[in-house]
Amino acid sequence: MAKTLYKMSSIIFIMFFFSLLLLGNSHTFSRNLSKESLDLKEEKLAHLHFYFHDVVTGPNATAYRVAQATITNTSATGFGAVVVLDNALTEGPNLSSKLVGRAQGIYALAALNESSLLMVLNFEFIEGVYNGSTLTILGRNPVFSPVREMPIVGGIGVFRFSRGYVQAKTFFFDMKTGYTVVEYNVYVLHY
Ligand SMILES: *[C@@H]1O[C@H](CO)[C@@H](O)[C@H](O)[C@H]1NC(C)=O
Ligand SMILES: *[C@@H]1O[C@H](CO)[C@@H](O)[C@H](O)[C@H]1NC(C)=O
Ligand SMILES: *[C@@H]1O[C@H](CO)[C@@H](O)[C@H](O)[C@H]1NC(C)=O
Ligand SMILES: *[C@@H]1O[C@H](CO)[C@@H](O)[C@H](O)[C@H]1NC(C)=O
Ligand SMILES: *[C@@H]1O[C@H](CO)[C@@H](O)[C@H](O)[C@H]1NC(C)=O
Ligand SMILES: *[C@@H]1O[C@H](CO)[C@@H](O)[C@H](O)[C@H]1NC(C)=O
């Protein structure tokens, strides 16, 4: 009995191996798949809430200006400045509260007559089931509006095929150092 089982499983294994070889050799550029084949079941709506820390000065800065335009210094809105960041995302508003991820990306001062940023951010999470998953945000951020909404353009890990939006609210701003804490509410559909 055990012997036949062993035989059968080796036959199945060999068949599987050769079908892989065949697939590899057929050079198929495209094919239609069922959602089930990628284990895509029910779409879920998740709400994530955390705080984003934009530390722009001091020894622990996580956001640095890397470029500017010829008019940046004389522009009332700092037009043309580009900042690269690797900012902490924490559960509570205090930088010392639990780290849930990081925001890595770029923002650029992209409005001539108002304070508005172009945001290009990857949120990489390290918390719970979201550990290792990322969301990509690309949007317009008029920083003095009470609530700024930006689209989620996609994600990886548990956020594959995701779509949705984020809402950003300034929670704390220090005029002297430029340190800003931004509260994020994320609404994301994913499988
Ligand atoms: C995928 O499905 C579409 C719509 O049914 C069909 O037109 C197309 O030919 C299919 N593509 C392949 C590669 O089978
Ligand atoms: C920078 O970070 C270190 C290590 O976390 C901390 O001890 C120090 O107080 C921080 N400095 C400032 C200015 O926040
Ligand atoms: C803008 O100001 C900074 C420092 O204040 C200076 O280093 C830089 O050269 C200036 N840039 C231009 C284009 O004037
Ligand atoms: C953040 O936490 C630190 C250490 O627990 C504390 O010293 C500091 O006052 C807190 N900051 C704010 C803004 O609550
Ligand atoms: C900015 O404001 C000035 C003065 O109000 C105006 O002349 C100019 O057209 C505006 N530029 C843009 C891009 O809105
Ligand atoms: C997240 O995943 C990394 C790599 O798999 C692992 O080292 C780490 O302990 C995980 N963190 C948490 C909070 O689960």
The pLDDT tens digits of the residues spanning 40-63 come to 999 999 999 999 999 999 999 999
14 within some domain: no
1 within some domain: no
What's the CA-to-centroid distance between 32 and ligand 1, angstroms? 6
Amino acid at 91: E
Output the pTM of the full model: 0.84
128 within some domain: yes
* The pLDDT of residue 4: 55
26 within some domain: no
What's the domain count of the chain?
Answer: 1
> CATH no. for residue 76?
2.40.480.10
Q: Is 59 in the pocket of ligand 2 (CB under 6 A)?
A: yes
10 within some domain: no
Q: Is 74 in the pocket of ligand 3 (CB under 6 A)?
A: no
* The pLDDT of residue 23: 56
Shortest-distance ligand to the CA of residue 71: 3
Domain that holds residue 134: 41-190
Query: How confident is the prediction for the chain on average, in pLDDT?
Result: 92
